[in-house]
Structure 1
């Protein structure tokens, strides 16, 4: 098994079959592994650019996958893979879109704002201070999960993977008035 692991390289792609799916990640039987042991592992955040609630939302046991090798631990006999590394980052097309007005669906309310999906795999935060001129105490006073609202892209931060949105002073498109 050690020789197999030493023959792998970071950044290379490798195929395998999902052996099991757990809350914390996915174990993969790697093709070519001589002892047929489960040596591949994909952490939840490395499964997809999309927000997923559980790894089973991205893969199923028995499914064939191709991932990029991001770490090899010869001592523990484990290879960490990333499916996300081989997918196009959906935030990149928004890099130069600051100021653009679009619509999106409210996906989650949190005490200080609301997350809004503006494209598949792309969600941004409308902070409570960005709903109207006066801040609101909780976004539930303005919107509900599932509402379709109009937002302005305020900032795109690729390094921190954040999309900052504003909903103040925009045309109404939701179930509730934002004014």
Structure 2
């Protein structure tokens, strides 16, 4: 723990005044392998970190990305949603993706189970293959659904970059998952 209310009263008072869902603006100060530090416009300086705001990788974007630098740049101005006060690190946990509509929900409202789609294989994993069916929307084809005969390795039937026809077998809006079959 970095410090309590008596050690950093201005920082504690500021963080306790924030409300879940509130929109906060600031500047990206540092990009690390574990997240992004943001200096908030109305916030005090942080005693240890380069900013009092922090965005985890999971809260940066709805779309898949390799590094945080694919989404934000140091010095960039952002508007983020306040998620919670992290009392251990004395920081405001933020979400950049919450400021934009979830593309999965719009997609899920436009397709139904049994619908045929076309997509591109983006990744092979031990349990199957990920297929991108539209910009930013991927679904998984499990091993059992990759071919009519049993398959032990997805590379035996598909490769990254292959164009494939798939059928929607499940849509979970809460978990944001799309199940597919070939």
TM range (shorter): 0.7 to 0.9
In the alignment, what sits opposite 2:55?
Answer: 42
Equivalent of residue 108 in structure 2, options 79, 94, 99: 94
Check whether the contact 2:60–2:68 (CA below 8 A) recurs between aligned residues. yes
Check whether the contact 2:147–2:157 (CA below 8 A) recurs between aligned residues. no
Q: CA shift at 1:75, angstroms? A: 6.0
Question: Is 1:9 matched with 2:19?
Answer: yes
In the alignment, what sits opposite 1:28?
Answer: 38
Q: CA shift at 1:6, angstroms? A: 2.7
Task: Please give the TM-score of this superposition, normalised by the length of structure 1.
Answer: 0.86
Check whether the contact 2:39–2:45 (CA below 8 A) recurs between aligned residues. no
Check whether the contact 1:114–1:125 (CA below 8 A) recurs between aligned residues. yes
Q: Which runs of 5+ in 2 are unaligned?
A: 1-10
Over the residues paired in the alignment, what is the CA RMSD in angstroms?
A: 1.6
- What is the number of residues matched between the two proteins? 167
Check whether the contact 1:6–1:74 (CA below 8 A) recurs between aligned residues. no
In the alignment, what sits opposite 1:78?
Answer: 91
Task: Please give the TM-score of this superposition, normalised by the length of structure 2.
Answer: 0.85
